[in-house]
A = this chain, B = another copy of it.
Amino acid sequence: MTTTQSIDRLVRRMLELHPRKETRTVDDTLLVDCIEACLECTEVCTACADISLAEPMVTELVTSIRRCLDCSAVCRVTSEILTRQTDTALEVWQAQVKDCIAVCDACATECEKHAAHHEHHRICAETCRRCEDACKRLAQAL
């Protein structure tokens, strides 16, 4: 059985098993939080864009769909790049996390406009803000 609990533990466990973990200068908890927030945001943005597409008022949600598609794609790559620990180039991590902050902010700002009418937009906006925050905390530590 897949349990939600496991992604958190799995990410942390895999970080601990890395042969070069001694050379890591970033706190594991900051990394785990950020990877998880990105996975979550990828998933929620994909769902939000799809739900908006099924709404009767889809014409009013076009910008939000666009933002969610972009945000989902960027968060996915961010989680991938942060998961890799072998010979990390700090300037790559910095650029990626900075990009992710900008895209999450743009998506949250748009989804917040619809949050009062659609719970999926409210959840999406909150998830983007959480991801933006996790990225900002990590950026400060890089």
Chain A interfacial positions (CB closer than 8 Å to B): 1-11, 13-15, 17-20, 33, 35-37, 39-40, 43-44, 46-48, 50-51, 53-56, 58-59, 62-63, 65-67, 69-70, 72-74, 76-77, 79-81, 83-89, 91-92, 94-96, 98-99, 101-103, 106, 118-120, 123, 127, 130-131, 134
Residues of chain B contacted by A80 (CB below 8 angstroms): 46, 70, 72-73
Bound Cα distance A87, B120 (Å): 18
Residues of chain B contacted by A134 (CB below 8 angstroms): 2
Bound Cα distance A8, B33 (Å): 16
Chain A residues touching B, majority SS = helix
Interface centre among A7, A9, A58, A130 (most CB of B within 10 A): A7
How near does chain B come to A74, taking the closest CB pair, in angstroms? 6
Bound Cα distance A40, B13 (Å): 13
Is the Cβ of B59 less than 8 Å from the Cβ of A59?
yes
- Contacts A43-B79, A85-B50, A95-B98 given; does A4 touch B70 at CB 8 Å: no
